[in-house]
Amino acid sequence: MKFGVVVFPGSNCDDDMVWAIGEVLKQPVVKLWHKESDLQGCDFIVLPGGFSYGDYLRCGAIARFSPIMNEIIRFAKKGGYVWGICNGFQILTESGLLPGALLLNTNQKYICKNVYIKPATTRTLLTQKLSPYRPLKIPIAHGEGRYYAPIDTLKELQDNDQILFQYCNPYGQVIEEANPNGSMLNIAGICNESRNVFGMMPHPERAAHKILGNTDGAKVMESLLAGI
Amino acid sequence: MESPANYEIAQELGLLPEEFDEIKKHLGRIPNLVELNIYAVMWSEHCCYKNSIAWLKKLPKDSPRLLAKAGEENAGLVDIGDNLACSFKIESHNHPSAIEPFQGAATGVGGINRDIFTMGARPIAQLNSLRFGNPHSERTKRIMKGVVKGISHYGNAFGVPTVGGEVFFDERYEQNPLVNAFSAGIVKIGKTVSAISYGVGNPVMIIGAATGKDGIHGATFASDDLSEDAEKDLPAVQVGDPFLEKLLLEATLEIIESGCVIGMQDMGAAGIICSTSEMSAKGKHGMIIHLDQVPMRQPNMKAWEILLSESQERMLVVVKKGKEHIVKQICEKWDLLCAQIGEVTDTKRLQFYYHGELVADVPAESLVLGGGAPVYYREYKEPAYYQEFKKFDINQVAEPSEEECIKIAEYLISHPNIASKAWVYEQYDSMVGTANANSVEPCDASVVHVKGTNKFLVISLDCNARYVNADPEVGTQIAVAEAARNVTVSGGEPLAITNNLNFGNPYNPEVYWQFVGAIMGMKKACEKFQTPVTGGNVSFYNQSADGTSVLPTPTIGMLGLMTGIENRISIPFKHRKDLIYLLGKPHNDIASSEYLYSYIGIKASPAPAFDLEYEYQLQQEFRRLASMRLFVSAHDVSDGGLWIALVESAIHYKFGFHIETPRHIRKDAFLFGESQSRIVVSILPENQELFEKECKVDFILLGEVTDSTGFVVDGIEYCYASKAKQLYEKALPKILEN
């Protein structure tokens, strides 16, 4: 399983993702420079977090025009696995690979803290090995992470079982108090209808090693690997 | 040539008449206006430390671990083993933050990080030390929100975690907030780059942002009192672009890796003139610079504006001749501007041309610290308040009743100086870099993994400025001791410090007395802890037009080292029935405590009880016991006293505690006093005998951790975990969101 982590100008979780895939999952991983259009035979593409192009426009709005994104869109349409985290999720919604949008947090502030999320489906590569009953402690770090989609789209997400994760409290209850940014339906992550493109705001790579005092994120990454 | 200058213009630019005479001597003629501007900015306190260097030189600078001594490089460099070094420094951006909090703080973050990566080190941790006025005032709320947002905006996008710091409120900072930013980076030993220039014919290149009119005379602005109409100085505040800084970081490290660099310096205070003169003076060479070649953001800039501009995100690089194309290629990859603006000469003079005309011609050496820049011994005088403060006697305060103690206990938990600062730090990305070991359980110091090794940087920023005000010498010893204590109780060993000396106007002898006392205290404490001073920053003139100066605030940034994550010790109690001990000796002392200052309202009292030798022994003994794995948790006793140390240990996992207080000390002093050299630890009950046999410093068995959630003192419940947590976490948002 060869992973490719895309580096946009302003990406800043690229090294973290490479570290997590290499050190924790022990899988081969390469960086893919945004100006290139060769995916180097990768089986799984990761769009990491950060502030691509400074995020001075809407987050991810410029990165989607990078040369490599054309390739990634083609790759995804053919069924290739693509996973966007944080800024990567924003880029995926901007490029139309995932529905909806990520808006400014309701408190108008950047928020970085540990939150709890719970898989809303286990019918995806990313969540198949996770317990639907055990909440995971995973950090978020974003200013624009409030998931928004029109009602019809939300209904489709629910009907097609496309919601990956929802924010919950430490006891696994999906309630408003546990929603850190005002996301609709407490959505923390979704997948596309063909279930090969994943986007989520929380950062599992930041909770993937005992040095970080938290290995819940490693569970998500290991789930991913187990399925392939 | 440009038209000649005179005394009046010199004075307007902040130069003294005797300094103008000195400039004439250096040049052998009357300077022109461009040259005068150059001297004005280079001889400002901000650039040449003219009012402080004589005293700074007294600070200890030696340790076998030091690879670069104070003042030798842009930042201190400490050997951490594994063939790696840590480069670290703290710097203030106080004046800009008072005028334009968002950009002022943001560019402070940008500047300190450039100091680190210009040496070839990749920053891995940022911290900051913030001081504001009364949190209830509209002015403070506006400034604080702007500063925090600015740090968040810049630091988060730059992609280096903000892992710790301090926030403190006192009305003495109402007009002059303090914003001190710290950064630490890692570099392979032998791969560092110096701020130096030599080799006749080597090209001088500028990379990064274009040069605009922002921040002109920022250094001079920072070297004067903040005037009432300071808002008109807005152009003296720079504007930051963290995205560009991130690209500049990556490009800079690639350029250094390519091996084509002779020397490099970032452009911060005093822009091009500062970098060209410092690099040239250090390398004992000269430069010819064509200002027309500098990429400019706007047309019609004057020569002195280009020279003095403090536009952010720029680097000056002297490259080996013939390797220019490598720099250009790397800049192209990262979409950065890059231009050759001149070359190295052997004249030791800086010759600036603009539109084909020589607009300034000055000896590089004459501009810089250690060269021609003036050095002053300022007059100082003990202020009357110093002896007054010492007259305080604890008996002036009636011993509070049990009910009163409960009130004080809750008051302190929700006091803005003590309550949780989550409102602030949750706006910072503290976890990017996957190296912050504290994001689940806090420690007294930040603990950051050095990737690819088993090492951790352990960092703490500390200064209780009220103690320093009460007694500059003892107060500063305490600042160093507390920083070391925080590193120690987190599992680290203190190695070295950087300092940020924030004071009022140095021409005021009473302010200067505070400065001198602080230096002497720092010297003594740093010698004791064997933590040399690797550099830092002096910020005078934190004083407003009405003469109010800030509390003397010598912020200490302590760098420590820990090997192995298993040696990390965190604050929270972990299990019920664990025994709670106090290490160190309690005193019948409430001097300068938050309790006395804010609750009782007595602001005139000396620094709390402190003995440097005792503190040193305590920390040594703590490390010895820690290496035996005796401590389940540890938390130093500081602001708010023992009570707050216990509360902070308990609330993380919502435990309770039962403790007994000794009879020979007033209960308010025991619980709320801030006498130094005390640490709260919890240990497993089965280790009681071993611990008591081994421990060679004073200790008291206070009580035990309980799962009943009540905080019980001498049989009386003072508070309980969920209520304390609520008070602690909601205090700051309640003030700031209203």
% of residues, chain A, pLDDT over 70 = 100
**Closest alpha carbon within chain A to B451:** A19
**Identity of the residue in B427, B434, B435 whose CB atom sits nearest the CB atom of A110:** B427
Q: Which fold has domain B193-375?
A: Phosphoribosyl-aminoimidazole Synthetase; Chain A, domain 2 (3.90.650)
Locus of tokens 């435990």? B655
Under a CB-based contact definition with an 8 Å cutoff, are residues B80 and B454 in contact?
Answer: no
What CA–CA distance (Å, rounded) separates B506 from B379? 9
Strand order in the sheet with B76-81: B66-68, B76-81, B84-92, B178-188, B122-132, B162-169
Which chain B residues touch A213 with a CB distance below 8 Å? 437-441
**Identity of the residue in B149, B246, B440 whose CB atom sits nearest the CB atom of A12:** B246
Instruction: Say what the pLDDT of residue B62 is.
Output: 87
Q: Measured on CA atoms in the order B297, B299, B326, B310, is the torsion positive or negative?
A: negative
Q: Region A116-123: what's the mean pLDDT? A: 97
- The token duo for A73 is 């869109």
Domain boundaries, chain B: 1-37, 193-375, 391-421+571-738
What CA–CA distance (Å, rounded) separates A134 from B618? 44
**Identity of the residue in A53, A55, A114 whose CB atom sits nearest the CB atom of B439:** A114
Under a CB-based contact definition with an 8 Å cutoff, are residues A82 and A196 in contact?
Answer: yes
Instruction: Say what the pLDDT of residue B220 is.
Output: 67
Closest CA to B158 of B103, B113, B206: B113
What band does A198 get if pLDDT is binned at 50, 70 and 90?
very high
Residues of chain B whose beta carbon is less than 8 angstroms from a beta carbon of chain A are 149, 152-153, 156-159, 241-244, 246-247, 333-335, 422, 425-441, 449, 451, 565
**Closest alpha carbon within chain B to A109:** B427
- Strands B533-539, B446-449: parallel, antiparallel or unpaired by DSSP? unpaired
Which chain B residues touch A35 with a CB distance below 8 Å? 333
Under a CB-based contact definition with an 8 Å cutoff, are residues A161 and A194 in contact?
Answer: no
Which chain B residues touch A110 with a CB distance below 8 Å? 152-153, 156, 427-429
Under a CB-based contact definition with an 8 Å cutoff, are residues B460 and B472 in contact?
Answer: no
Locus of tokens 């280096």? B160
Min Cα distance A52 → chain B (Å) is: 8
Instruction: Say what the pLDDT of residue B635 is.
Output: 98
Predicted confidence (pLDDT) at residue A100 exceeds the cutoff of 60: yes
Catalytic residues of B: 46, 93
Which chain A residues touch B158 with a CB distance below 8 Å? 12
Under a CB-based contact definition with an 8 Å cutoff, are residues B447 and B490 in contact?
Answer: yes
| Inter-chain touch B432–A109, beta carbons under 8 Å | no
| Inter-chain touch A214–B433, beta carbons under 8 Å | no
First to last CA, chain A: 8
What CA–CA distance (Å, rounded) separates B526 from B503? 20
Q: Which fold has domain B391-421+571-738?
A: Phosphoribosyl-aminoimidazole Synthetase; Chain A, domain 2 (3.90.650)
3-state secondary structure of B704: strand
DSSP 8-state assignment for residue A11: B
Instruction: Say what the pLDDT of residue B229 is.
Output: 61
Q: Region A83-108: what's the mean pLDDT? A: 97
Min Cα distance B193 → chain A (Å) is: 24
Which chain A residues touch B454 with a CB distance below 8 Å? none
| Inter-chain touch B246–A10, beta carbons under 8 Å | yes
**Identity of the residue in A114, A141, A208 whose CB atom sits nearest the CB atom of B432:** A141
- Strands A3-7, A29-33: parallel, antiparallel or unpaired by DSSP? parallel
Q: Is A171 exposed, middle or buried (0-12, 13-18, 19+ CB in 10 A)?
A: exposed
Under a CB-based contact definition with an 8 Å cutoff, are residues B405 and B669 in contact?
Answer: no
**Closest alpha carbon within chain B to A54:** B243
**Identity of the residue in B153, B428, B440 whose CB atom sits nearest the CB atom of A214:** B440
| Inter-chain touch B440–A114, beta carbons under 8 Å | yes
Percent helix / strand / coil, chain A, rounded to 5? 30, 25, 45
- Strands B349-354, B286-290: parallel, antiparallel or unpaired by DSSP? parallel
3-state secondary structure of B420: coil
Under a CB-based contact definition with an 8 Å cutoff, are residues B301 and B173 in contact?
Answer: no
Percent helix / strand / coil, chain B, rounded to 5? 40, 25, 35
Which chain A residues touch B152 with a CB distance below 8 Å? 109-110
Which residues of chain B register pLDDT less than 50? none
| Inter-chain touch B432–A16, beta carbons under 8 Å | yes
Count of CB atoms situated within 10 Å of the CB of B185: 27
Which chain B residues touch A31 with a CB distance below 8 Å? none
What CA–CA distance (Å, rounded) separates A157 from A142? 23
**Identity of the residue in B153, B333, B439 whose CB atom sits nearest the CB atom of A212:** B439
First to last CA, chain B: 58
What CA–CA distance (Å, rounded) separates B179 from B111? 12
What CA–CA distance (Å, rounded) separates B33 from B15? 13
Min Cα distance B270 → chain A (Å) is: 26
- Across the strands, what pairs with B261? B319
Which chain B residues touch A10 with a CB distance below 8 Å? 157, 243, 246-247
Which chain B residues touch A137 with a CB distance below 8 Å? 440
| Residue from B431, B441, B726 whose CB has the most chain A CBs within 10 Å, to mutate | B431
| Inter-chain touch B246–A9, beta carbons under 8 Å | yes
Question: Domains (ranges, CATH) in chain A?
Answer: 3-226 (3.40.50.880)
What is the amino acid identity at position A54?
A: G
Helix axes B472-489, B509-529, angle to 10 degrees: 40
Instruction: Say what the pLDDT of residue B129 is.
Output: 98
| Residue from B239, B432, B653 whose CB has the most chain A CBs within 10 Å, to mutate | B432
pTM, two decimal places: 0.96
> Rounded mean pLDDT of chain B?
95
Size of interface A-B (CB pairs under 8 A): 100
Residue A61 Cα distances to A57, B378, B504, angstroms: 7, 56, 47
Under a CB-based contact definition with an 8 Å cutoff, are residues B275 and B267 in contact?
Answer: yes
| Inter-chain touch A9–B157, beta carbons under 8 Å | no
What CA–CA distance (Å, rounded) separates B92 from A86? 32
**Identity of the residue in B159, B335, B428 whose CB atom sits nearest the CB atom of A12:** B159
Min Cα distance B129 → chain A (Å) is: 19
| Inter-chain touch B430–A208, beta carbons under 8 Å | no
Catalytic residues of A: 86, 203, 205
H, E, C per residue of B324-378: HHHHHHHHHHCCCEEEEEEEEECCCEEEEEECCEEEEEEEHHHHCCCCCCCCCCC
| Inter-chain touch B429–A212, beta carbons under 8 Å | no
Which chain A residues touch B441 with a CB distance below 8 Å? 213
ipTM of the complex: 0.97
Closest CA to B505 of B469, B541, B536: B541
The answer to whether B193-375 and B391-421+571-738 have equal CATH topology is yes
Q: Measured on CA atoms in the order B570, B576, B578, B583, is the torsion positive or negative?
A: positive
| Inter-chain touch A54–B334, beta carbons under 8 Å | no
- The token duo for B542 is 């934190």
Is the backbone of residue A26 left (phi > 0), alpha (psi -120 to 50) or beta? left
Min Cα distance B243 → chain A (Å) is: 5
Instruction: Say what the pLDDT of residue B73 is.
Output: 77
| Inter-chain touch A9–B428, beta carbons under 8 Å | no
